[in-house]
Amino acid sequence: MKIRLVHLYADYLNIYADRGNIAVLSGRARARGHELEVSTVSIGDQVPAAADVDLLYVGGGQDREQALVAVDLAAKGPALRDAVEEGVAFLAVCGGYQLLGRFYRDRAGTELPGIGVLPIHTLAGEQRMIGDVLLDCAWAGETLAGFENHAGRTYLEAGAEPLGRVIAGFGNDGTSGYEGCRRLRAYGTYLHGPLLPRNGWFADRLLEEALAHATGEEHELAPLPDELEATAHAVSSDRARRRGGRS
């Protein structure tokens, strides 16, 4: 099968090796005989219709880059909201995650519009929340390990489902004990690193949901050996347990 991925603002929102996440999705799709067709959409470009994309991705960036894309992204909001309602899968990381909410008020106090795909809003604080993170994702019976670096404090609004419970690290706001947000097949998280090389199960979840959008049927991918991924997850989890969430 061909899986159509659109990488939003790859030229603006790409810190902590966001392209590494795309490479993992591509490699894991190929390992099962599927092809990940990657295209980019940036400022001034059209978002493909929901029928022409299976997986959306947006990465992280400093306040400056977020401010450069926010107005253009807001104009793409209706098409992206439709895509999510139509079952397109979506992974948004850090700065991109913040802009999937209602708004992000940055450290300068400027309110950047979000696209309202996730029931969240974010306010930048003084102290950055930096370090290794480990999450319990009970909904999947799995854990997620990664690295966070953000000034934003993200607040889950009514009806919001977190991506995971924080075992170690700061998470959304450093106090709620939750990280990320998920709705339909859209996932937002502060976990960088990049995220997917050390969390193979989550990459497969995104691919399965993208295939379900492409075919209208549920898919279960055959497991991969994942020795390296398991070691990376264990090392990252151990680092988080030893020092995550300490400023």
Under the criterion CB under 6 A, does residue 152 sit at the interface with ligand GLN? yes
Which CB, 60 or 171, lies closer to ligand GLN? Answer: 60
Which residues lie below 8 Å from residue 241, measured CB to CB, with a gap of 6+?
134, 167, 168
Site for ligand GLN in 83-112 (CB under 6 A): 94-95
Under the criterion CB under 6 A, does residue 221 sit at the interface with ligand GLN? no
Site for ligand GLN in 18-57 (CB under 6 A): none
Separation of alpha carbons 53 and 48, rounded Å: 7
| Three-class DSSP category at 127 | strand
Expressed in angstroms, the distance from the first to the final Cα of the chain is 45
Which of 3, 11, 17 lies closest to 213 in space, CA to CA? 3
Which CB, 128 or 219, lies closer to ligand GLN? Answer: 128
Q: Are strands 103-105 and 178-179 parallel, antiparallel or unpaired?
A: unpaired
Which CB, 63 or 229, lies closer to ligand GLN? Answer: 63
Under the criterion CB under 6 A, does residue 146 sit at the interface with ligand GLN? no
Q: What's the DSSP call for residue 68?
A: H
Q: Is 192 a catalytic residue?
A: yes
Catalytic residue among 94, 137, 150, 213: 94
When binding is defined by CB under 6 A, the residue of 43, 151, 212, 232 that contacts ligand GLN is 151
Which residues lie below 8 Å from residue 171, measured CB to CB, with a gap of 6+?
133, 135, 148, 177, 178, 179, 180, 190, 245
Which CB, 3 or 195, lies closer to ligand GLN? Answer: 195
Catalytic residue among 7, 121, 192, 213: 192
Under the criterion CB under 6 A, does residue 121 sit at the interface with ligand GLN? no
Which residues contribute to the site for ligand GLN (CB under 6 A)?
A: 15, 60-63, 66, 94-95, 124, 149-152
